[in-house]
Amino acid sequence: DVKVTQSSRYLVKRTGEKVFLECVQDMDHENMFWYRQDPGLGLRLIYFSYDVKMKEKGDIPEGYSVSREKKERFSLILESASTNQTSMYLCASSSQGAKGYTFGSGTRLTVV
């Protein structure tokens, strides 16, 4: 079964910490995405990448950065975590063209 794997299901971090969320896909997909999901706001795109070392800002990139050194891995970085970054983070990947995305199970991050 093809998969998008997120390294942690639940994570608790302190305000000001640097946080790394890791995502790995085994489908040789070109595109990878990071979303966050909050009640009442739905899924919002943070960053995406269409190739190794390439990245594009999504709708809410402030406070985040990303890294894609290898095709299969896309990391989301919170440089200095804040309480308003408490959220469910979802990684997804897709091939070029019209095909569907495959999502990971999500990482629920709590910043205290």
Partner 1 sequence: DAKTTQPNSMESNEEEPVHLPCNHSTISGTDYIHWYRQLPSQGPEYVIHGLTSNVNNRMASLAIAEDRKSSTLILHRATLRDAAVYYCILRNRERSYGKLTFGQGTILTVHP
Binding site for partner 1 (CB under 8 A): 4, 31, 33, 35, 42-45, 48, 50, 56, 58-59, 90, 92, 94, 96-106
Residue 49 forms beta bridges with which residues? 32
Q: Nearer to partner 1 by C-beta: 69 or 97? A: 97
Least distance in Å: CB of 69 to partner 1? 19
Q: Nearer to partner 1 by C-beta: 8 or 102? A: 102
Report the Cα–Cα distance between both ends of the chain, in Å, rounded: 36
Least distance in Å: CB of 99 to partner 1? 8
Rounded to whole angstroms, the Cα distance separating 19 from 73 reads 16
Give me the phi and psi of 91, to 5 degrees please.
Answer: -105, 145
Least distance in Å: CB of 84 to partner 1? 20
- Name the residue with tokens 């969320």: 21
